[in-house]
């Protein structure tokens, strides 16, 4: 039986993991802008250690809503915990529901605005 190399644990574990970020490297309350193939999401990090965020964008989040950013995947069983990476889908948990974005095209940090 053949399968795509992206779904093999060996390929996944040896991936260089550049072109993205881990939430643990983001300050709390920092705002990220994530452009996927289908939508733009704004993500405000509430807790970088747990993945708790406020997210707005796409069809499911018209207003900032609490969610947990579980990580990035290729739609399979492997998950890069609390990571956002170009080319990967972002997985968000809202209660018992899992929302999976289309593949990420770009990630940017939104500069803070002085009041």
Average pLDDT over residues 72-87: 87
| Rounded Cα gap, residues 47 and 74, in angstroms | 24
| 6 touches 85 (CB < 8 A) | no
Instruction: Tally Cβ neighbours within 10 Å of residue 10.
Output: 7
* Residue 1 to residue 6: CA distance in whole angstroms: 15
Structure-token match 């900032």, residue found: 64
**Total residues found in the chain within this entry:** 115
pLDDT of 9 strictly over 80: no
Specify the 3-state DSSP secondary structure of 69.
strand
| pLDDT at residue 35 greater than cutoff 70 | yes
Closest CA to 80 of 94, 64, 91, 65: 91
Mean pLDDT rounded to a whole number for the chain: 87
What whole-number distance in Å separates Cα of residue 86 and Cα of residue 18?
9
Boundaries of every domain in the chain: 19-110
The pTM of the full predicted model, rounded to 2 decimals, is 0.82
């Amino acid at each position: 039986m053949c399968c795509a190399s992206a779904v093999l644990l060996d390929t996944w574990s040896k991936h260089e993991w550049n072109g993205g970020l881990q939430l643990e490297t983001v300050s709390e309350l920092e705002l990220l802008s994530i452009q996927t193939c289908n939508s733009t999401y704004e993500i405000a990090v509430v807790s970088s250690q747990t993945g708790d965020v406020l997210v707005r964008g796409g069809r499911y989040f018209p207003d900032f809503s609490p969610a947990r950013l579980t990580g990035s995947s290729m739609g399979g069983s492997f998950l890069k915990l609390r990571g956002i990476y170009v080319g990967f889908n972002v997985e968000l948990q809202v209660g018992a529901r899992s929302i999976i974005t289309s593949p990420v095209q770009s990630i940017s940090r939104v500069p803070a605005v002085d009041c």
